[in-house]
A and B are shown apart, each in its own frame.
Chain A
Amino acid sequence: MPIFAVTVLGHDRPGIVAEVTEAIADLGGNLEDSSMTLLRGHFAMTLVADIDWPSDVITGRLAPLADGGLGVFVRELPPAAPTVESARFLLSVHGADRPGIVSAVTRRIADLGGNITDLSTRLAGTFYVLSAEVQLPVERADEATEALRAVAAELAVAVHLSPLEDDLL
């Protein structure tokens, strides 16, 4: 069955998740992974679903949401790449807000072959906080710490990279 990504963005109100997922259920679609949050009060959701209909039919079924002012985007996805084993780290960045913090920090991670697998950022007043999970080849962890120390000094922000532990029971 084809896999689709459905993204819905816009002014928050009660009922959006119910309406989006009802539309997919009505098409016989099956939800796989999804993520929804409020970003400065705006509704933001992306979900991945198995749906055995072409994308224009899905878009049509979601049209009432779009007509109500929400941004709705439907896109068919290629098969997922196989997952690889690597060490997981928590990247924490915080400091006085300024443009370019996220790009500068994540560029260093990318240059070392690190992959951001989860990220959230928050701004409160002028205080900016980033928390991300990073997959990084274990042998490059020290190098990454050094590179991040340099970028922290350049940006005058605090940057910490620490191993994430899984408690396997």
Chain B
Amino acid sequence: VTSTVAQQLAQALAALPPGRVREVVRAPHPVLSAPCPHVDPEDPATVELAADLVATMRVSPGCVGLAANQLGVCAHVFSLDVSAHPKTRVHHGAFVLVNAAILAGSRNERAREGCMSVPDFTGEVKRPTRITVSGQLPGTGEQVTITTDAFEARAIGHELDHLAGYLFLDRVAGAHHVYPRKTYQ
């Protein structure tokens, strides 16, 4: 992690206003299947949304990331914080990216994913575990580029899929790779 990028991400996060905890939308809500348009990162509404994503992510047990459409808002913004997750190697703390895109991905690996918007299932998904992603910071609109691996790369892939209108259910490795989280006894 280069200190400049880490500092930029941390400064942008610190500059956010206090966020509001909002309800997380669950499938089959149509907002989860809609591609989210790019938004102005300097727009106060985007900044407020960024703060709400972080606030909601922080109070949700086990939540490592949230996409704006999971709060019912169709805007290309996501928050992430995988710093406490055991599968994490490289990480960038808590941050929000606006209008982000993966520039390069490699080292595909398969792992089981869950999602707050799909609470009853998990699924086996293959994703790149080394990625370079570029996006803008909320508030300033500064462009930042992050290179990361392992769980942070997977989580970013999952959030960017949300913003493209895809759930992990659309990315599973085969017909028998969606698993119920409850067992019947």
Interface residue ranges, A against B (CB under 8 Å): 38, 40-41, 90, 92, 94-96, 117-120, 122, 124-129, 131-133, 156-158, 160, 162, 164-165
Contact = CB atoms under 8 A, between A and B. Distances in A.
Given A96-B28, A157-B28, A160-B170, A124 B180 contact: yes
A164 B170 CA distance: 11
B75 interface: no
A83 to B, nearest CB: 17
B30 A131 contact: no
Given A40-B184, A127-B120, A158-B33, A94 B27 contact: yes
Contacts of B180: 122, 124
Interface of B: 26-28, 30, 32-33, 118, 120-121, 126, 165-167, 169-178, 180, 182, 184-185
The 9 tightest CB contacts between A and B, nearest first, are A41-B184, A124-B120, A118-B175, A158-B33, A160-B170, A95-B28, A92-B170, A96-B28, A133-B175
30 contacts: A40-B184, A90-B173, A90-B175, A92-B169, A94-B28, A94-B169, A94-B170, A118-B174, A119-B175, A120-B175, A120-B176, A120-B178, A122-B121, A124-B182, A125-B120, A127-B27, A127-B28, A127-B118, A129-B121, A129-B178, A131-B172, A131-B176, A131-B177, A131-B178, A133-B174, A133-B175, A157-B28, A158-B32, A158-B165, A158-B170
Chain A interface, >50% SS class? strand
A162 B167 CA distance: 13
Contacts of A94: 27-28, 167, 169-170
Contacts of A165: 126
Contacts of A124: 120-121, 180, 182
Contact of B184 (A38, A90, A157, A158): A38
The interface centre, meaning the residue of B32, B169, B185 with most chain A CB atoms within 10 A of its CB, is: B169
Nearest to A38: B184
A132 B175 contact: yes
A9 to B, nearest CB: 15
A119 B165 CA distance: 23
A96 B28 CA distance: 6
B28 A131 contact: no
A92 B171 CA distance: 8
Nearest to B29: A96
A41 B32 CA distance: 29
A51 to B, nearest CB: 26
Nearest to B180: A122
Contacts of A132: 175
A95 B27 CA distance: 7
A90 B167 CA distance: 14
Given A122-B178, A124-B121, A129 B169 contact: yes
Contacts of B118: 127
Nearest to A158: B33
Contacts of A120: 175-176, 178
A41 B28 contact: no
Nearest to A35: B176
A58 to B, nearest CB: 27
A90 B172 contact: yes
A133 to B, nearest CB: 5
A160 B166 contact: yes
A90 B174 contact: yes
